[in-house]
A and B are shown apart, each in its own frame.
Chain A
């Protein structure tokens, strides 16, 4: 063996480097938006990316955290009213919504606003609740965060360049990167 060649140790180390890595969630939406603008993808509709047959296939390839988040978000919806209301507090997000929901969709925007108010009110009630078990609080916090994450993912579809949503998703992504044990985290979300 010459020093031009890799040692077994070096080969193992290089072979052990990760081959895949998830980019930021914003990238997908940015790319889709750019492709639409070039006319390479069909213009967005109210349910862009979901109604077509291939969407069902996409569901099966979802990473665990997307599926887990969807489940948790569904539970949150059932329990107390899932909402993106908290997000509407940010001015730029409001602007983004106003752009998307023009005239005929005012009712839909109002519905979102109402659900958002319920979401915030439920969290406020939780924070002042007396004698609540720590486990319950932790569970509710998990649901609240998951709902926020799910909401941010919906908003980014509507407004891929919204900086507030970008910051929120970057925060979630940073947290996910820190957690090496994806399986354990997934279990936490699905358990309750």
Chain B
């Protein structure tokens, strides 16, 4: 079999095609590059609701494409998309009454479903209150620092830390006495 020469086309070049001539195939290429990661992130923040997550991902792409001409490429495109997706998640959660402002400091307890003594990690994360869950996802899964989380969510670093600790505590309770293992991971 003959090796296929791969011509790297950067995100920026593809974006310029979209902005310049509305190139659909350039959009599809960007979509395929970045949607799987964006979708997984949004799906977690939305607590595992696939339909809502797909709506958010669609809105993210629409908003991003509208503003693509103004994107200055000082950060990576996927970072920018994640930021847009996060804001849209928060708006949606807030509109439906599922988001409590993080600075309120209210400790909300969640219980494992009746009859389930131990649940898997992904499910436990999905059951956390939206604010805790978001901070935990950003810090412990996506690797953001508290300063970055604070900036993205419009809270203080102290709030980000306290929310993370509460999130971890709740997650441990939901997971029962055992620690999560890779076998718990979906």
Give the chain B neighbours of A49 by CB distance below 8 A: 24-25, 28
Give the chain B neighbours of A4 by CB distance below 8 A: 165, 168
Bound Cα distance A8, B180 (Å): 10
How far does the Cβ of B79 sit from chain A's closest Cβ, in whole Å?
Answer: 14
- Known A-B contacts A35-B27, A41-B22, A50-B25; the reply to A14 vs B58 at CB < 8 A is no
Residues of A in contact, count (CB < 8 Å): 46
Q: Is the CB of A60 within 8 A of B4?
A: yes
Q: What are 25 A-B contacts defined by CB distance under 8 Å?
A: A6-B168, A10-B168, A11-B140, A13-B184, A17-B141, A18-B185, A19-B40, A20-B36, A21-B36, A22-B39, A23-B50, A23-B53, A30-B58, A32-B24, A34-B62, A35-B27, A38-B66, A39-B22, A40-B22, A42-B23, A50-B25, A54-B9, A54-B14, A54-B26, A62-B32
Interface residues on B, range: 35 or more
How far does the Cβ of A190 sit from chain B's closest Cβ, in whole Å?
Answer: 12
- A104 part of interface (Cβ distance < 8 Å): no
- Known A-B contacts A23-B35, A38-B66, A40-B66; the reply to A57 vs B27 at CB < 8 A is no
- B127 part of interface (Cβ distance < 8 Å): no
Q: Is the CB of B140 within 8 A of A23?
A: no
Give the chain A neighbours of B27 by CB distance below 8 A: 32, 35, 41
Bound Cα distance A58, B30 (Å): 9
- B106 part of interface (Cβ distance < 8 Å): no
Give the chain A neighbours of B118 by CB distance below 8 A: none
Give the chain B neighbours of A35 by CB distance below 8 A: 27, 61-62, 65
Produce 1/0 per residue, A53-64, CB < 8 A to B.
Answer: 111011011100
Please classify the interface of chain B as helix (H, G, I), strand (E, B), loop, or mixed, using the class held by over half of its residues: helix
- A179 part of interface (Cβ distance < 8 Å): no
Bound Cα distance A7, B180 (Å): 10
Q: Is the CB of A3 within 8 A of B181?
A: no
Bound Cα distance A28, B80 (Å): 19
Q: Is the CB of B58 within 8 A of A13?
A: no
User: Which residues of chain A in 63-113 are interfacial with respect to chain B, using CB atoms and an 8 Å cutoff?
Assistant: none
- Known A-B contacts A32-B27, A35-B62, A35-B65; the reply to A42 vs B22 at CB < 8 A is yes
User: Which residues of chain B in 52-80 are interfacial with respect to chain A, using CB atoms and an 8 Å cutoff?
Assistant: 53-54, 57-58, 61-62, 65-66
- A52 part of interface (Cβ distance < 8 Å): yes
Bound Cα distance A146, B66 (Å): 36
Give the chain A neighbours of B179 by CB distance below 8 A: 7, 9-10, 13
Produce 1/0 per residue, B3-29, CB < 8 A to A.
Answer: 010110100001001100111111111
- B130 part of interface (Cβ distance < 8 Å): no
Starting from the known contacts A17-B186, A28-B28, 13 additional A-B residue pairs (CB-CB under 8 Å) come to: A4-B168, A10-B180, A23-B35, A23-B53, A31-B61, A34-B62, A36-B24, A41-B23, A41-B65, A44-B24, A49-B25, A54-B14, A58-B28
Bound Cα distance A60, B24 (Å): 17
Give the chain A neighbours of B9 by CB distance below 8 A: 54, 57
User: Which residues of chain B in 98-150 are interfacial with respect to chain A, using CB atoms and an 8 Å cutoff?
Assistant: 121-122, 140-141
